[in-house]
Amino acid sequence: MFVWGDLMQFHVQETMSKGLKAKVDESIDVTALFEGRSDVISKGPLHVSLQVIGNEGGITVDGELSIDWELACSRCLDPVKEHTVIPFFEQFKPASESDEGESDDEEDDVIAVAGDRLDLKPFVEEALQLFMPFAPLCSDDCKGLCQTCGQNLNEHTCGCKTERIDHRLAVLKDLFKEEQ
């Protein structure tokens, strides 16, 4: 095989010249990616299922990523189980000297690889981070937390009289305060 002890790495020239077709079927640990994030309660592993095809022009990688994880509800912070499937498609080509200093405008869909080693892991990790659910909810009608006492309003109502203020509006209010 064409690997360095890591099944997600490929020799660029060899993959292209031999027209290699390879399957990547891996589970990778992504714990480190989300370290320190309180909104990601448990994660992974990330299942990577890709087909890697070499041809004269470059290397095409096509497939999908999937992960089961628990994210904090964006309103009440309760854990929300999510199954996320991420389509993955990237094209790579060897970086040539003529590429250097040139803008990438021409072929911005094709990623230039410097050197002979194509490591898919960083691209897979980036795809996961980009695709992360932005504002997961435990349910569409989650009532969230009381702004005053922090009570989870899905469980109990509290005695606070304050009207609920949308976080985004609260930020705006603060801005106006500063300007005055």
Judged by the rule CB under 5 A, the positions of this chain that interact with Zn ion are: 73, 75-76, 138, 142, 146, 148-149, 151, 158, 160
β partners of residue 23: 51
- In angstroms, rounded to a whole number, what is the distance separating the alpha carbons of residues 110 and 44? 28
Q: How far is the CB of 41 from Zn ion (least distance, A)?
A: 13
- DSSP string for 153-169: TTT---S--PPP--HHH
Closest approach of Cβ 81 to Zn ion, in Å? 12
Q: Considering only CA atoms, which of 176, 178, 173 is closest in space to residue 163?
A: 173
Token couple for 146: 């009381």
Pick between residue 27 and residue 42 the one whose CB is nearest to Zn ion.
Answer: 42
Q: Cβ of residue 166: shortest distance to Zn ion, in angstroms? A: 15
Q: Which amino acid is at 123?
A: F
Q: How far is the CB of 133 from Zn ion (least distance, A)?
A: 13
Closest to Zn ion by CB, 110 or 160: 160
List, edge to edge, every strand of the sheet that includes 79-94.
21-28, 40-55, 58-72, 79-94, 110-113
Of 47 and 164, nearer to Zn ion (C-beta) is 164
Q: Which is nearer to Zn ion, 15 or 152 (CB)?
A: 152
